[in-house]
Chain A
Amino acid sequence: MHVPDGFLDLPTSAATGAVAVAGVALALRGARRELDDRTAPMAGLVATFVFAAQMITFPVGAGTSGHLMGGALAAILVGPWTGVLCVSVVLGVQALLMADGGITALGTNITLLALVGVVVGWLVFRALVLVLPKRDAVIPPVAFAAAFVSVPAAAAVFTGLYAVGGTAPVSIGAVLTAMLGVHVLIGIGEGVITALVVASVLKARPDLVYGARHLRPVPTVEEVSA
């Protein structure tokens, strides 16, 4: 869901640009609490994986494709604030280097994929983790649910933005129905990829899954440097 230039008018793009700047600024402050010598390299790995995974567009029904957004994945692996930074860096590189996602739409794309994707994904994840048994086995299915919900949520927010500042006069109801329909399908792919990656990291290095930290004791100095 990379919004190109021209879909939204300039005032709306400027407004989402301001939201994106504010969100990233908050994330830069918040990420100080998440990032240390152990988690900073993980943030680099997660951003790079999200960039790579977004290249894999998978078919979802007739003549349509989708790809990972990565907000929920990044939030679960490195924390929500750092997750916002990871996805924002990916979107910036895509827009500037790969001509994927408009330049005037960069604020819109950061708002949708980095802010909405991370916030919705993280809130669903935390809400489910709080009510479900405190076991590792719960984390991948919960990651699926969080990632799944984040995609239609971003699609709905795009439709809201289009209702305010869309450049072509089309039925907003039709846009909303179509956006939710296709993005529920893409959300399944998002959920599957997110659950598989989170499960793999959880198996290899459970201490590196931010969203599962509550399941294990605070790491010792030896573990931190291992």
Chain B
Amino acid sequence: MSRRTFTALALLATLLVAGVLSFYASESPDGLEHVAETTGFAAAETDHATEASPFADYGFTLVDSDRLSVAVAGILGCAVVLLLMLGLARLVRRPSVDAEA
């Protein structure tokens, strides 16, 4: 498989997960929240400093449809993570063979 095909397939799979499958995610509290509730420290949680973010809790406040809302948040989050990590990796990596020549 060529590098280009691999990258395209990987991105497509990732966007499907974030933009489509994410709608079907479990609504139950996660392991830590569950333990916090059963053992009695859940109430210690304080308000989140960025809960006013338009993308808080993986939604997008400007969109009414739940399905579209989570898709927008998921795909936007993917784009931000991809750009940040590509930028960081470019900064950190060794100079390429060409650059040394």
Give me the interface of A with B, judged by CB distance under 8 Å. Answer: 1-7, 28, 31-33, 35-37, 39-41, 43-49, 51-53, 55-60, 63-67, 82, 85-86, 89-90, 92-100, 102-104, 155, 158, 162, 166-168, 170-171, 174-175, 178-179, 182-183, 185-186, 204-205, 208, 221, 226
- Is A226 within 8 A of B2, CB to CB? yes
- Is A36 within 8 A of B88, CB to CB? no
| Alpha-carbon separation in the docked complex, A65 to B77 (Å) | 21
Interface residues on B, range: 35 or more
- Is B6 within 8 A of A102, CB to CB? no
* Minimum distance in angstroms from A165 CB to a CB of chain B: 11
| Alpha-carbon separation in the docked complex, A31 to B31 (Å) | 31
- Is B32 within 8 A of A2, CB to CB? yes
- Is B41 within 8 A of A168, CB to CB? yes
A-B contact pairs, 26 of them (CB 8 A): A4-B45, A7-B44, A7-B45, A44-B85, A46-B85, A48-B85, A51-B81, A52-B14, A55-B18, A55-B58, A56-B24, A58-B26, A64-B30, A65-B28, A66-B30, A94-B77, A96-B53, A99-B51, A100-B57, A100-B58, A166-B44, A167-B44, A179-B32, A183-B31, A186-B31, A226-B2
- Is A64 within 8 A of B29, CB to CB? yes
Given A65-B30, A89-B81: A208 and B39 within 8 A (CB)?
A: no
Q: Which of B25, B41, B90 contacts A57 (CB 8 A)?
A: B25
Q: A57-B28, A98-B53, A226-B3 are in contact. List 10 more A-B contacts (CB 8 A).
A: A2-B30, A6-B45, A37-B93, A41-B7, A41-B86, A92-B84, A97-B77, A99-B53, A178-B34, A221-B97
Check if B80 is an interface residue, CB within 8 A of chain A.
yes
Given A57-B30, A178-B39: A52 and B44 within 8 A (CB)?
A: no
* Minimum distance in angstroms from B63 CB to a CB of chain A: 15
- Is A52 within 8 A of B18, CB to CB? yes
Q: Which of B24, B46, B53, B80 contacts A6 (CB 8 A)?
A: B46
1/0 contact string of B6-43 vs chain A (CB within 8 Å): 11011101110110011011111111101110111101
User: Considering the complex of A and B, which 7 residue pairs feature the smallest CB-CB distances, nearest first?
Assistant: A6-B46, A52-B18, A35-B93, A168-B41, A99-B56, A47-B85, A65-B26
| Alpha-carbon separation in the docked complex, A174 to B39 (Å) | 7
- Is A63 within 8 A of B92, CB to CB? no
- Is A85 within 8 A of B85, CB to CB? yes
- Is A95 within 8 A of B50, CB to CB? yes
| Interface hits, B47-101 → A, CB 8 Å | 47-51, 53, 55-58, 70, 73-74, 76-78, 80-82, 84-86, 88-90, 92-94, 96-97
- Is B46 within 8 A of A51, CB to CB? no
Interface of A is mostly: helix
| Alpha-carbon separation in the docked complex, A55 to B16 (Å) | 11
- Is B17 within 8 A of A56, CB to CB? yes
